[in-house]
Amino acid sequence: METTNKQAYAKIVENGTLAVQEIQNLATSGYMAEHIYVLAHDSEKTERIAQASEAKEIGIKEEGVFDSIANLFRSRGDELRAKIVSLGFTEAEADFYEKQLDLGKVLVIAKKNQP
């Protein structure tokens, strides 16, 4: 599943290998590395894919300080949805993507260059 809105492009892939390939495709098509993010339900999996592909993890810069602190007290599902929303997606889109992450899939997001 691919989604594009005004702020970002997102694609759900089946595993880390396909995520790395998608990240490489996005980089080749002109997205800057600092605008490509990866997210998996397991934070260690997210970290491994980010390191293998040079993609970024969604952090304080993207979420803001308050959401980052709030994530310390949220369930993993709530944390994932907050991270997705922080990149410009709606609550409904975040809910859909989080359910896909629950199934073991990986989300690749590329933010469009902001003027």
pLDDT (tens digit per residue) in 68-112 = 666 566 678 888 999 999 888 999 999 999 999 999 999 999 987
pLDDT (tens digit per residue) in 21-38 = 999 999 999 899 899 999
Cα–Cα distance for residue pair 96/91, rounded to 1 Å: 9
Look at the pTM and tell me if it is higher than 0.75. yes
The sheet that has 2-4: what strands, in order across it? 2-4, 8-13, 106-111, 36-40
Contact 111, 88 (CB under 8 A): yes
User: How many CA atoms lie less than 13 Å away from 110 in the CB half-sphere?
Assistant: 23
- Count CB neighbours of 95 within 10 A: 15
